[in-house]
């Protein structure tokens, strides 16, 4: 049984390993392994993860069973859009997917931003399993981007949003 809790600095090595495994499993076939390795090195470096962990306008969560980290989620209030929280990360170890871990992480994240009226995310348009998952959570398509990723890497994205209910 996995429990969702706030991530700590001692989790970061396990989080990085989970994100590396999951990113490669998800995106190698879509973007190519070299591009994925480049993205992993940039997005999930120790420094990048520590920066996310220290963000006071964000929530960094893990699903933990006491032995391993099975999933990770990270969302932050948008600096550009008012009353909008942006979901940046929601990944579950491939061997644990479709067991409710992602849903549980998201359920916690959507309650963490009382000032937010909208949760927004960007997803690779060919990542059908993720798109289906987000639509089941109540997200709807609101746009597209042709230049998503670090350094505006030219990776396309589908933009989804979900209205948030005050808790």
pLDDT single digits (tens) 42-73: 999 999 999 999 999 999 999 999 999 999 99
Alpha-carbon separation of residue 77 from 44, 81, 85, 97, 117 (angstroms): 20, 8, 4, 27, 11
Rounded-to-integer distance, Cα 107 and Cα 33, Å: 31
Confidence (pLDDT) at 155: 77
Confidence (pLDDT) at 146: 76
pTM over 0.85: yes
Confidence (pLDDT) at 152: 46
Does the pLDDT at position 11 exceed 60?
Answer: yes
For the structural domain made of 3-118, what CATH number should be given? 3.40.630.30
- pLDDT tens column, 98-151: 999 999 999 999 999 999 999 999 999 999 999 999 999 999 999 988 765 555
* Residue where the block lists tokens 């399993």: 129
Dmax over Cα atoms in the chain, in whole Å?
A: 43
| Helical spans, DSSP H, in the chain | 12-31, 33-43, 46-54, 101-109, 128-136
Rg (CA), the chain: 15
Alpha-carbon separation of residue 166 from 84, 103, 115 (angstroms): 13, 19, 8
* Residue 165: band (very low, low, confident or very high) from pLDDT cuts 50, 70, 90: confident
């Amino acid at each position: 049984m996995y429990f969702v809790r706030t991530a700590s600095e001692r989790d970061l090595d396990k989080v990085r390993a989970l994100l590396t495994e999951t990113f490669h499993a998800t995106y190698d076939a879509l973007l190519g392994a070299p591009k994925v390795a480049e993205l992993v090195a940039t997005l999930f470096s120790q420094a990048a993860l520590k920066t996310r962990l220290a963000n006071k306008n964000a929530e960094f969560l893990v699903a933990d069973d006491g032995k391993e980290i099975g999933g990770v989620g990270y969302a932050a209030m948008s600096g550009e859009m008012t009353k909008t929280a942006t979901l940046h990360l929601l990944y579950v170890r491939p061997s644990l997917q479709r067991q409710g871990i992602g849903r549980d992480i998201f359920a916690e994240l959507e309650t963490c931003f009382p000032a937010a009226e909208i949760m927004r995310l960007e997803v690779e348009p060919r990542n059908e399993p993720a798109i289906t998952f987000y639509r089941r959570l109540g997200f709807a398509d609101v746009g597209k981007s042709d230049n998503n990723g670090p350094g505006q890497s030219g990776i396309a994205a589908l933009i989804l949003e979900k209205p948030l209910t005050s808790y």
